[in-house]
Amino acid sequence: GAGVSQTPSNKVTEKGKYVELRCDPISGHTALYWYRQSLGQGPEFLIYFQGTGAADDSGLPNDRFFAVRPEGSVSTLKIQRTERGDSAVYLCASSLSGTSGSYNEQFFGPGTRLTVL
Amino acid sequence: EDQVTQSPEALRLQEGESSSLNCSYTVSGLRGLFWYRQDPGKGPEFLFTLYSAGEEKEKERLKATLTKKESFLHITAPKPEDSATYLCAVLLRGGSQGNLIFGKGTKLSVKP
């Protein structure tokens, strides 16, 4: 597609439930990133994929959060046993390559607004 | 601790009134500094990347500059359509490619 797409655009769930958020990157982009943005804050890094593997998952807050990218394209962020504090906008970005030596700009999707009641 | 601080938090300008947004950083080693624009309900839109002190980049009414401690985003003769939140982010030397550290942003409002 023309840009990074994310589904759903909005997700309301109850505390304790499981949610999946999907990201479809720009075609041909090998690097994919997940961020979380709370109201009035800048995006906070969660995890970065180079191809199918997680190159850096240091931003995942705890073991309730998990992300996969099985075929090196679409990625799913999975949150188990959701808590009210997980409410935020979850942003996905992609870039041509995440390899060192030169930086490729990250293109962001519109985000998924998650509300945990 | 690596930190990015943006000021002011909010800025109101009249159309045509030039000004600057500040991004100061305290990091162990800078690999690159990035400016993004974010409109309400949308993801950040890439504007500029700066890699070394003294570097400058321009795009329409925007000009970004970088020193060893801070970056400025200069807005010349702004228009109402420049209203948005401007985010600054840094990529650390020795860190992972993906781990951008963002500031909280400056919310710019330009009145006609």
**Chain A contact present for B101, CB below 8 A:** yes
What pLDDT, on the 0 to 100 scale, is given for residue B2? 86
Q: What is the mean pLDDT of residues B45-73?
A: 95
Q: B81: helix, coil or strand?
A: helix
Q: A84: helix, coil or strand?
A: helix
What pLDDT, on the 0 to 100 scale, is given for residue A105? 84
Contact flag B103-A42 (C-beta cutoff 8 Å): yes
pLDDT band, very low/low/confident/very high, at B92 (cuts 50, 70, 90): confident
Chain A closest-CA separation from residue B45 CA (Å): 7
Contact between residue A109 and residue A5 where contact means Cβ atoms under 8 Å apart:
yes
- Along the 117 residues of chain A, how does pLDDT read in single tens digits? 589 999 999 999 999 999 999 999 999 899 999 999 999 999 999 999 999 999 899 999 999 999 999 999 999 999 999 999 999 999 999 998 755 555 678 899 999 999 999
Of B37, B99, B106, which to mutate for an interface test with A (greatest number of A Cβ within 10 Å)? B99
Half-sphere exposure of A14 (CA within 13 A, CB side): 0
Cα–Cα distance measured from residue A67 to residue A54, given in angstroms and rounded to the nearest whole number: 8
